[in-house]
Structure 1
Amino acid sequence: MGNRPHRPPPGPSPASPDGPASRPDAPGPMLRRGPRPLAMHLLCAPISQPSAGSSTGSNGASPGWKPGSAAPPLPPGIDPAFIAGVAAYRRHPYRRTEPVPPPVLWSYGEMRVLDYGRPGDRPVLFVPSLINRGYILDLMPDRSMLRHLATRGLRPLLLEWGWPSDAERLLDVGGYVQERLEPALADLAEQCGQPITLAGYCMGGLLALAAAQRRPDLVRALALLATPWDFGAASPEAIRTLSRLLGPHAGMMALTGTLPVDALQTAFAAVDPGSIIRKFRDFGAMPQDNPRTALYVAMEDWLNDGVPLAAPVAIECVRDWYGANLPMHGTWQVGATQIQPQCLSLPTLVAVPARDRIVPPGSALPLAALIPGATLLPVAGGHVGMVAGPRADGLLWAPLAAWLLQHA
């Protein structure tokens, strides 16, 4: 099903947030439109009680403000530190640039496998989530897990799912595994002349695990990074929020075949709105010439640069994973295969970040217990920080490289 290697089309790579839009509903160049959805973030603004002597005019602004003068101050009650942080993020000058675009090793439609290593080195295919773009693993020149691993004698390959085409909008999770991931895996194994090590991140870990069980002939080893399994371990608030996710968007899903990006962003933000408030307050208080502000903005830009989720995938995630918890019960199927980690018989690493709010440790830890001989790697970080944060090289990159060199 995959076509042979070819020369990439001219222009920016689809892995870049500035890549060309091939659909009328695809995002244009990043113009710092976020944080997305902006209205939801502003509604999260903490409300404090106005002081006893404060008052406003009929237009809601301070009584001393006149139209045509400088911008009016915030109405009493709106936290200025939070708003200042959002404004600082929106005007920050950072823009992502890709130093050396990696060659495309395999493609199918908008789906691409980018080659960050050298022929002859040990191939490792990184499988990201279907919700976020994979370049979080190659975020900045000095914050690139993939380029770091390439210096260690590994050949990192990054699967970028791309914007879902009309064909992908008909696929459920099993369809993505059978009709996209497995053909890519087979073609890459043929090109590399050996089985491939799979490394799945977040939701991508579930797809990688399924492919590894179904096609053990193509897979040498498996690394699962912040991969959920027991969806019952999510917080009650997260489960309630996600259970209400699909209803309001049923019409849009029927019309477009996808769950919109902003719907996903709203759901994730609603699980812990306090974290949004804290992170923008903290960002606004930082000196904006501090190099760490660029890393913060790079991560936030990536969060706001998601892709819509195919409607069948969204339904399966909400109904079968968070609703019925089929993976943990051993009844989740891809094709005719029941996906059961205890059936795996290949070297496996399970990396579990301790401060993960997206995939809490209780959701990821069962994989290490179920997979025979699995190596558990606790990581003192969060879901995104473990792969791209300022301490990621020591927390994850180095131990992951050592394990891959031993087993890949």
Structure 2
Amino acid sequence: MDFASQHGPRPLPLFLAMLRSEAAENPDLVKRAMEGLRRFQAAKRERPMRALAVRRRRGRVRLRDAGGQGRPVLFVPSLINPASILDLSRDRSLIRWLRERGCHPWLIDWGTPGVKDRDIDVAGHVERFLLPLIATFAEPPVLVGYCLGGTLAMAAAARSKVAGIAAIAAPWHFSGYGEEARAAMAAQWAAIKPTSEALGVVPMEALQAGFWRLDPARTIAKYAAFADLDPRSDAARRFIRLEDWANQGAPLPHGFGLELFERLIAEDRPGQGRWRVGGGIVTPSQCDAPSVEFVAAADRIVPAATAIGLADRRQGGTGHVGMVVGGRAEQQLWQPLADWIAGLPAPR
């Protein structure tokens, strides 16, 4: 069966409406973006990476093992979009690259929430899932958190014994989004909250719509640019790979969405020192392990102004996704991260 028609931006009707509104006075851009969309939908897909083996579980959450002989490094991805961004392809896998350099990487797979998960909020994912899984390691792992996974990892590092914490494009000071962006996200949440309450989950499509509104012109332009690429080129393959990833993802529990939008984004409780996790206020200063954060100067999804503010801050010139899987990722993130891990004190 041909599933090509199922590939495309989610939600597709919103993408088409955005295209009409943003490019109404540029018919050539509309034509090229539509051609790019057609080619994207019809493109042949690569065989996906084989999923890492599941070694432990905690409810719906699975702990996947990449193998290796070195110290344990636990990757904590965001719940928004799949964890596979950290193990994207044979030539773009931060996890497997680190395994070949003396680490033993592990990956949190958040799974798909069901009805019983509806009230588990952001803090609850640290308390119910992340902390118990950290406790299963024979020696304290190094935590590496990406995006909101970095926010969760930072909270976990303040509540458990870890060998180190590295945050990649992780928001903590949510006021750094600025009033205009936060107002737009509040309006987005107000629109989807009734559906979230009724379903018990925040649909992935609703979250994707919010990302598009951060930079609608760029969303359209990248499909127009794809129309000009040789479909056999590496650039075309990278675009397909990343767009397929960006248009996948499980829904969020309603409680997670409520706390994210109303407590973290609107009230900036982490940045204001008012976020409660594990029975008390949690702050980065409570973590006594070595810590580092990697920030992307061109990040539109998690702007540099929202970063944690750790003393060891490494800033590159790429964007939110490019810093992890882009052409300069090895130079700007992978190697510096590997060097930082290698320099950590040996386990006692």
What range is the shorter-chain TM-score in? over 0.9
Q: In 1, are the aligned partners of 2:18 and 2:216 still within 8 Å (CA)? A: yes
2:23 equivalent in structure 1: 47
Q: Describe the shift of the 1:92–1:340 C-alpha distance in structure 2 as closer, same or farther (beyond 3 A).
A: same
Q: Does 1:106 align with 2:56?
A: yes
TM-fit CA distance, 1:235: 3.9
Q: How does 1:4-403 map to 2 (within 5 A)?
A: 32-45=6-19, 46-49=22-25, 79-98=30-49, 100-118=50-68, 120-187=69-136, 189=137, 193-216=138-161, 219-364=162-307, 366-368=308-310, 374-403=311-340
Q: Which amino acid is 1:169 matched to? A: R
Q: Deviations over 1:51-89 (max 9, x none)?
A: xxxxxxxxxxxxxxxxxxxxxxxxx68720111111121
Q: Is residue 48–residue 77 contact of structure 1 (8 Å, CA) maintained in 2?
A: no
Change (3 A) 1:78 1:379: closer
Q: Please tell me whether the aligned partners of residues 4 and 42 of structure 2 are also in contact (alpha carbons under 8 angstroms).
A: no
Displacement, 1:261? 0.8
TM-score when scaled to structure 2?
0.93
Q: What SS does the corresponding residue of 2:118 show, helix, strand or coil?
A: helix
SS class of match (2:158): helix
* Post-superposition offset of 1:378: 1.1
Aligned length, in residue pairs: 341
Rg larger for? 1
In structure 2, runs of 5+ residues without a counterpart are none
- Secondary structure (helix, strand or coil) at the match of 2:188 reads coil
Give the residue type in structure 1 aligned to 2:38.
A
Aligned CA RMSD, in angstroms, stands at 1.8
Aligned residue identity for 2:62? R
Pairwise CA distance, 1:245: 1.9
Change in CA separation of 1:172 and 1:251 when aligned onto 2, cut-off 3 Å: same
Instruction: Give the C-alpha shift of residue 280 in structure 1.
Output: 1.0
SS of the residue corresponding to residue 82 of structure 1 reads helix
Shift of residue 296 of structure 1?
1.0
Determine helix, strand or coil for the equivalent of 1:288. coil
Provide the TM-score with structure 1 as the length reference. 0.80
Deviation at 1:320? 1.0
The C-alpha deviation readout for 1:192-244, integer Å capped at 9, x for no partner, is: x211111110101111111111113xx11000000111111114442122101
The aligned amino acid for 1:91 is A
Q: Which amino acid aligns with 1:47?
A: A
- Provide closer, same or farther for how the CA distance between residues 259 and 95 of structure 1 changes in structure 2, counting only shifts above 3 A: same
Report if the CA contact (8 A) 1:203-1:228 is conserved.
yes
> Matched residue of 1:244: which SS?
helix
TM superposition shift of 1:31:
6.0
Supply the distance in 1 between the matched residues of 2:303 and 2:31 (Cα, whole angstroms): 32
Question: Which residue matches 1:15?
Answer: none
Offset, 1:287: 1.2
Question: Structure 1 vs Structure 2: percent identity of aligned residues?
Answer: 35
**CA–CA separation in structure 2 for the residues paired with 1:251 and 1:230:** 27
Shift in Å, 1:49 = 4.3
The alpha-carbon deviation at position 110 of structure 1 amounts to 3.1
Aligned counterparts of 1:239 and 1:49: Cα–Cα separation in 2: 29
What CA distance in whole angstroms lies between the structure 2 residues aligned with 1:330 and 1:96? 45
On the 8 A contact 1:201/1:227 being kept in 2, the answer is: yes
State the AA in 1 paired with 2:342: L
Opposite residue 85 of structure 2, the aligned amino acid is: I
Cα deviation, residue 291, structure 1 = 1.5
- Whole-Å Cα distance in 1 between the matches of residues 315 and 25 of structure 2? 42
Match of 1:24 in 2: none
* Residues 324 and 80 of structure 1: CA distance in aligned 2, closer, same or farther (over 3 Å): same
Distance 1:328 1:81, change over 3 A: same
Q: Which runs of 5+ in 1 are unaligned?
A: 1-28, 51-75, 369-373
* Secondary structure, counterpart of 1:382 in structure 2: coil
How many angstroms apart in 2 are the aligned matches of 1:327 and 1:103? 34
